[in-house]
Structure formats: C-alpha cells, structure tokens
Amino acid sequence: MIILSIIGYILLLILVLIAFVILIPYTYYAEAERYEGVKARGIVSWLFGGLKVFILKEQDEEINVRIRFLGLEKSMDTKNGDDKDKKKDDKELKKKEKETKKKKSVRLEYFKKELIKKVLSAVKKLLKHLWPNMVTMRIKAGFDNPMYTGYLCALYSQDYMLPEKYDIRLEPVFDEGILEGEGSIEGRIWLAYILAVALGLVFTKPVRKILFSKK
C-alpha cells in the first residue's frame, strides 16, 4: 500500500507539472535595431517570470543565450553546439534524401482540396494566436528610385487598419537608398490553445484517413 501511495503521489505530481506547462502562458518580447550594425535581443518568460530565456545577438558576435530560473542563471555555449549540429544535420539530410528516393509511392489523394483547406485553417489559427499583441517600430527608409519610396508611403498610409497597440512610424527618404531604425514586439503564447488546434486538425476526416489508412 505504501508503494502504491508513493506511485500515486508521483503520478499526481507529474500531472500537476504537465498542467502547469500547458495552462500557464508563455510571454515573449523581442527588440532589434539597425543603424551602423544590427543588434537583436529576445526574452521568453514562463511561470510568471520564474523562468526566463534571454537571447542576445550583437554585431559580428556569436548568439548569447542565458537561462534564469528562480534567480539562478546559466549561460549557454552555442558555438561548439552549432558545429556539431551542422555535421549532424548534414548526415541526417543525406539519410533523408535516400529515404525520399525510396518513397515514390506517395498517394496523391492525400493532397486533396479538403485536406489543404483544413491545414490552412489550422495554420491561420496558429498564426493569429502567435501574432504579437504589441508592435513598436521607428523606421527610416528610402529607395534610389523616389517612385518606390512613394509606393512605400502609400502603403504606410493604410496603417489605420492595424490594431490600436501597433505603433509604427515611418520617416521616408526620397533621395537615397536607406533602411535603418528600431522596433520591438511583445506577445503571449498559450500551449493549451496550440495543442487544441493540433488535436482538432488530427481528428478531421482527411487527416484521419491518412493516419489510419493501410499502407
């Protein structure tokens, strides 16, 4: 009985952790600037700020990744990992190419209009969910041909169609080609919603046909 109780508590703890991961939202923030060089910084936060992942990219420098959990911080080395991952990816790519050559009996009915419609609907929902809630941009832009700069200004004049929390300002330049400025985005991600959309797609009729059809 004691062993069963311990197993029960462990399972309950696992379920609670899974519920936390699924139900507690993730927030993200990213900012970038382009003047003499390009700089970018991103933050992914979870557990109401208890866990944060910082990503920093300075001009001509490696990407710096830091993880902070309840005040404890750890810096990640991405340089060596990138080299190893590149070699691993090359091997996997060659393997996949060989497998792709063997799989020539792909059923064309899998790509029917109904399936494409369901997939596009799911992608649209995910993009709408992942889209940032707040956007701030200050851009100085121009083309060598003033006509294209005029087109850009015409496009910018439609900014009234954007959400209220989107603050985008353009400074047009008509006598030279230039692109510089800075901006930031902020949003929230609910893993529960993403899982719901994914499961909804899996249980649609065209996807069920693919998953449960006989090979």
Inform me whether the pLDDT recorded for 103 exceeds 60: no
Q: What would the pLDDT profile of 174-207 be if each residue is shown by its tens digit?
A: 988 999 999 999 999 999 999 999 999 988 888 8
Asked if residue 76 and residue 46 are part of one domain, the reply reads: yes
Asked if residue 127 and residue 76 are part of one domain, the reply reads: no
Average model confidence (pLDDT) across the chain: 84
Inform me whether the pLDDT recorded for 24 exceeds 50: yes
Would residue 103 count as lying in a domain? Answer: no
Asked if residue 154 and residue 72 are part of one domain, the reply reads: no
Asked if residue 116 and residue 83 are part of one domain, the reply reads: no
Report the C-alpha dihedral over residues 83, 88, 92, 93, rounded to 10 degrees. Answer: 20
Would residue 102 count as lying in a domain? Answer: no
185, 29 contact by CB (below 8 A): yes
Q: What would the pLDDT profile of 52-71 be if each residue is shown by its tens digit?
A: 999 998 887 888 999 998 88
Asked if residue 76 and residue 123 are part of one domain, the reply reads: no
Asked if residue 162 and residue 210 are part of one domain, the reply reads: yes
Asked if residue 196 and residue 144 are part of one domain, the reply reads: yes
CA-to-CA distance for 131 and 135, rounded, in angstroms?
10
**pLDDT higher at 159 or 166:** 166
Asked if residue 212 and residue 143 are part of one domain, the reply reads: yes
Would residue 15 count as lying in a domain? Answer: no
Domain count, the chain: 2
| DSSP type of residue 152 | H
Return the beta strands (E) in 15-164 as ranges: 26-34, 38-46, 51-57, 64-69, 72-76, 134-142
Q: What would the pLDDT profile of 105-143 be if each residue is shown by its tens digit?
A: 445 555 577 888 889 999 999 999 999 999 999 999 999
CA 192 to chain centre: 16
Res. 86 pLDDT band, cuts 50 70 90? low
Would residue 54 count as lying in a domain? Answer: yes
Asked if residue 118 and residue 210 are part of one domain, the reply reads: yes
Residue 106 is predicted with a pLDDT of 47
Would residue 101 count as lying in a domain? Answer: no
Residue 173 is predicted with a pLDDT of 94
Q: Hey, what are 88's tokens?
A: 């691993």
Residue 126 is predicted with a pLDDT of 94
Range of the domain at 83: 25-91
CA-to-CA distance for 15 and 165, rounded, in angstroms?
37
Asked if residue 142 and residue 211 are part of one domain, the reply reads: yes
Inform me whether the pLDDT recorded for 164 exceeds 60: yes
